Amino acid sequence: MVNRSDVHYFGAGPAPLPTPVLEQAAQVLLNYKDKGIGLCEISHRSPEANEILTDAKQSLTTLLDIPDDYEILFLQSGGSGEFSATVYNLVSIWVEKKRAKIAQEVGDDQAEVLKRLRKVVDEELKLDYLVTGSWSLKASQEAARLVGSKYVNVAVDARKANGGKFGVIPPEDQWRLTPRTSGSGPALAYFCDNETVDGVEFPSFPHSLDGDDAPLVCGDMSSNFISRKVDVRKYAIIFGGAQKNIGNTGIAIVIIRKSLLPPHSTPASPDLLRELGLPVGPIVLDYPTIAKNNSLYNTLPIFDVWVAGQVMAGLVHAYGTKRIGGQEEISNEKAQLIYDVLDKYSQIYRVVPDKSVRSRMNICFRVHGGDADKEKAFLVGAEKKGLLGLKGHRSVGGIRASNYNAVSVEGAKKLVAYLEEYAQS
C-alpha cells in the first residue's frame, strides 16, 4: 500500500492540499460541529454556512491585505466562467455610463439617446487583452465570442515575438493598448498573471496598466493565488479557481472593487443591451446579484468554501505578521532550487519560457530536446521515486512541475535529487 507520505504530487490541478486540512475534512464530512450531520448536508443558508463564508473572507482579507472598499465573492463558475462574467458585467457598466452621459446632453429624447449610443458602441467599445499564454488566449476568444471580435483588442500576442509559441512577454512599449483619453477608454483591460500551461508569469505589475482608468482585470490568477504579495488596490477585479493553491475543485473566488457594484455603478438594463445587440449575462454570473446575496443567490458548495477557508487560515496562522509574504519566500525558495538544477544540466533540460518570465508556480521544461521516448522514460523514473503529476499539459507536452503551496520544500528537494540523478545517468 502506498501512503500519502510516500509521494509528492506536482500536478497542475486539481492540486495537492495540506494533509491536516484533508484529515479534518474527513471528520467534518461525517459530523460537523457535533451536529450529527456532515458539512455537505447542512443548508447553505444556515448560520454555520454564513460563519464559514465570513471566516474564509477574513482569512483572504488578512493574507492579501484587501482594503475595505473591495468585496469577496464565491461562485461556482471556475476561472473559465469568469472569462464570461467579467465581460458581461464590465461591458454592461461601460454601456450604462455612456448612456447616462448622452442622456444628460439630449434630455428625454429616448430615440436620440439610443441612436447616439449605437454610434458610440460601434465606434468606441473595446476590450483590451494581453495574450501571453493559453489561458489569456481563451479569455480573449471568449470575449470575442460574446461581443464580437471587432470589439476585442488583442494589445499583445506573445506568440508573434517567439516564433509562434508562448514563452515571452514582449516589452511594454510594443503593446497596442486602446488609447485612454478623457472620458473614454476600453470597457476593461485584461491580463493573466500566471499562465499554468506555458509556465509564464509576470515578474511584476505591468507599468503600462498602473493607474489605468480602464477597469483592470487580473484574470485567472488560479495558479498563483496566495503565493506572493499582490497590491489589490491596482485592480478592479481579481479572480481565480480554488483548485490549485487554495482548495478543491468547485468554486471560483472574485475580489472586486465595490465601486463596480450598486449603488456606485449601475449596469445597463437587459432590454438596452438587447437593443444594442450585446449579450445579457446569466444571473448566476451577475456580480451585483451575487454580492447582494452574500454569494448565496444559488446553492453554494459550502464544503468547498470551508476547505479554502481552512487552507487560508492555516497560512494566516503559519506566517503571522508576514502574511502572504511568508508563503512568497517559500515559493521562491522551491522554484529557485528546481530552476538551478535545470540550468545546471542545460544539455539535458531546456526550460521552455524565457528566463525573464519563468513562472514560480508552473515549471515547464523539456528533456533531451523534447524526445518523446526519453521524456516518457523520465516520467516513469519519476513515478518510481514517488514524484507524480509531472506530465506537461496535453496541448504542449513536455514536463511540468507545478510548485503550488502544498508542495513542501522536502518535495521540491526530492525532485531536485531526481533531476540530478537522471542528468548524471
Alpha carbon distances (Å) from 230 to 63, 83, 98, 324, 350: 10, 20, 31, 9, 30
Q: Place 17 in a pLDDT band, splitting at 50, 70 and 90.
A: very high
Round to whole Å and give the CA distance between 282 and 298: 12
What is the chain's alpha carbon radius of gyration, rounded to the nearest angstrom? 23
Q: What is the pLDDT of residue 222?
A: 87
Q: What is the pLDDT of residues 188-244, one digit of tens each?
A: 999 999 999 999 999 999 999 988 789 999 987 889 999 999 999 999 999 999 999
Q: Lowest-pLDDT range, 64-68, 122-126, 209-213?
A: 209-213
C-alpha cell at 63: 493574507
Can you list the domains of the chain with their CATH numbers? Answer: 57-304 (3.40.640.10), 324-424 (3.90.1150.10)
Q: Which of 421, 346, 409, 350 is nearest to 384 (CA)?
A: 421
| Alpha carbon distance 48, 50 (integer Å) | 5
Grid coordinates given for 390:
509531472
Q: Classify residue 277 as left (phi > 0), alpha (psi -120 to 50) or beta.
A: left
Residues 129 and 153: beta-carbon distance below 8 Å: yes
The per-residue pLDDT for range 150-180, each reduced to its tens digit, is: 999 999 999 999 999 999 999 999 999 999 8
The helix (H) or strand (E) run that includes residue 345 is: none
104 pLDDT higher than 90: yes
Residue whose C-alpha cell reads 519566500 in the numeric block:
329
d(CA 347, CA 352): 14
Backbone angles phi, psi at 399, to 5 degrees: -120, 140
User: Is it true that the peptide bond before 262 is cis, omega within 30 degrees of 0?
Assistant: no
Model's pTM, two decimal places? Answer: 0.97
Distance of CA 202 to the CA centre of its chain: 13
Using DSSP, state whether 218 is helix, strand or coil: strand
Q: At residue 182, does pLDDT exceed 80? A: no
DSSP string for residues in 114-181: HHHHHHHHHHH--EEEEE-SHHHHHHHHHHHHHH-GGGEEEEEEGGGGTTTS------GGG--PPP-B
Q: How far apart are CA 236 and CA 219, in angstroms?
A: 11
pLDDT at 21: 97
pLDDT of residue 394: 94
Distance of alpha carbon 113 from alpha carbon 408, whole angstroms: 59
Counting runs of H as helices and runs of E as strands, what totals does the chain give? Answer: 11, 14
